[in-house]
Structure 1
């Protein structure tokens, strides 16, 4: 039978003459010790398992009892713990502290993830997590791990609804919180009979209509806006993304364009636990013409002293000006190029796996055929060429699109 208790080793002071307080693990005649952060000036300050003769004795005793309870709770979750040695139990009980040191609240656990993302250079993801933390703390404050349950999550979601957060905003916040909750459960930091999200459904917002019609893309291509630096930048960045299969801005600025083809892994995909998906495509002539204006030593360079995030915001601002100048209805952003490419590809019958390859999405391997067949570069190149041809001469594709639509209606 294993027991845990607070103790000091009066015969073994530190070199500084201090007496650390330990949690003793006893298994039969075997003993191991977990060192706490507290230490005493004299062995006389310890009596019958408590700190005495100190002004802060009451506070220290409360914290020590909290530490002891933490390890006792962990012990209860170890199956057949009576069969382990004291050394083995110590390794199991302290594993969580090594994985997430000094974490007492869920907020601290989230901040730890934000710090990790910044250290990995993933500033954009870190900023999104920081924004989620601000919303969460405004609603719930600093939440101890023991209170991170379904009641807290339900209240947080209700708070966001009351304060006017959209379904899309709630989806982002709840998904990020849920991902961190799952990590905390995996590490044993959260113990619960019911998952904190057991009664909270993460909303699925209606997809935003960010794609623009083929006539609008043709207008962007054909209109000379060289008289305005802002409009020229907006036109080039929209078309460059479109001609490169809907490439994200974060990827665009980090790719080496010194060769006639490019290979890269979407930065967003690198966050996934599954194997990263590499995209290889040729640079079409239309894209090469634009790249010649911006590429220096293989990489795109802008004559702006903006951060990456601010530069993308500036480009989106310029795209709004372009939409107004060309009388393009709806929302025109850098992301519109990606959405528009995907929409056109689907309309002209490009198989979905090839579209997903161009976009850098992971293929669903749960479908048997996708475990055997993989998309190749020449297929992606052909798909991009076909989408560009569709924009250049949509009338040629019109009979095919109409016939395809009729066949799809017949299959319903």
Structure 2
């Protein structure tokens, strides 16, 4: 006898119950299959992809807003944009002169660091002065150091940029050691000081790939401040120190009689075009590779500190420099770092670097003393003077008291 069962009349599966749960919606399926799970996963993945794309689009918009803000921070006022610079009527075509005098603040804000926002980031564009800048300029607003024609009428306005102008603010971003005219004490200035011989022993700037160029430039400026001569005489006093690769700066000073900030810009421009403007920082970061062969830890840390002082002041507080100090001390001078941590001198990091080589030298001397001491050394007995030792004094009935 054959039984034919309909598909709807088959016995229920072992997974299902024979009783009906009134709380279960009859419209929902009795079981969740693998296809349903994969469908839900695809929906969740699609939602996550959409959210990620929205976040990426928002980040792109924020980057565009930041870029626009940086452009506006160095752009001229709307009033000056309506009056562009007039081209020079004589000389090479394409060169420009300066615009009217900018607004000048008499003093520098002592509570802020000049040029705190770095412009060395390649994403922010090349080395280029703001639109309102003194001197003969190219179409890219760079100084034309070889311009043979002299615009004497335009040169009269160059001194108005010597204080806290937009041009000076831009220079401070690249070299915050720049001294402006308002930083000088006018009570000690004397024109007779310019007739004296300039300080000997200053190293001239001659090679662009020298990591000490900015340090030598700071020493030259320090000598000018100490000399007490007037600000407008500074370029002519030191133009003989620009030699070799910086010979254009020498010719520029003698031909156009620029201001001191323009002379500094000419030096920085040559360093930037030769890709050596950041060489002091790059040389400092290179110390992460460790000491030289046959070099002691004290010698390595002493060179490390000297490289730190070759950098301009603003670059010393960069995050890259701080990470280099911490990594180098922890990796290549672990005993020194542990001593700094125990003495609570590990932070700030620039202070730890200044005393790290002294701790390394102390540890080195201590290890040398231990290695030179024999293991089986016997200490000499304490010397006892028989005339002062009470145990060796003669008794009162001795013949010495007779």
Q: Give the TM-score normalised by structure 2.
A: 0.21
Bigger CA radius of gyration: 2
Q: Give the TM-score normalised by structure 1.
A: 0.21
Structure 1 or 2: more strand by fraction: 1
